């Protein structure tokens, strides 16, 4: 004989699992939609920024070389951490064997 409490608990657990699965599906769908929107916005922002740079370069009569030199000077160094020297191994001195 099945007790009413256990049957009710199982039904509640099944219901909770179904709700969690539905919530996961909604989250996955929203993540995919937001990724597509984010990509579109970044492409639009890039195009707008590029147009702004072109206008300013024409205004100040910069060339591509001038801009490139400015970016190299202001950019971060490739190796931002100083190079560590390795410890030098000193030759080991051998002790003479006692007679």
Query: How many domains would you assign to the chain?
Result: 1
CB-facing half-sphere around the CA of 39: CA atoms within 13 A:
6
Residue 87 lies in a domain: no
Domain around 56:
4-71
> Which stretches in the chain have pLDDT values below 50?
1
Cα distance between residue 77 and residue 94, in whole Å: 46
Residue 26 lies in a domain: yes
∠ CA 80-83-88, nearest 5°, is 170
Residue 35 lies in a domain: yes
pLDDT of residue 74: 55
pLDDT of residue 8: 85
Residue 94 lies in a domain: no
- Residue showing tokens 């202001």: 74
Residue 96 lies in a domain: no
pLDDT of residue 83: 62
pLDDT of residue 1: 45
29: helix, coil or strand? helix
Token output for 25: 């599906």
Residue 40 lies in a domain: yes
Cα distance between residue 18 and residue 6, in whole Å: 18
Residue 50 lies in a domain: yes
Cα distance between residue 45 and residue 39, in whole Å: 10
Residue 97 lies in a domain: no
């Amino acid at each position: 004989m099945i007790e009413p409490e256990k049957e009710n608990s199982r039904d509640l657990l099944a219901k909770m699992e179904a709700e969690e699965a539905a919530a996961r599906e909604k989250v996955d769908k929203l993540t995919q939609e937001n990724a597509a929107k984010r990509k579109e916005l970044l492409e639009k922002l890039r195009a707008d920024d590029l147009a702004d740079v072109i206008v300013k370069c024409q205004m100040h009569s910069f060339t591509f070389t001038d801009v490139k030199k400015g970016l190299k000077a202001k950019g971060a160094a490739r190796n931002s951490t100083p190079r560590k020297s390795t410890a030098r191994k000193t030759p080991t001195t051998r002790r003479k064997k006692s007679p």
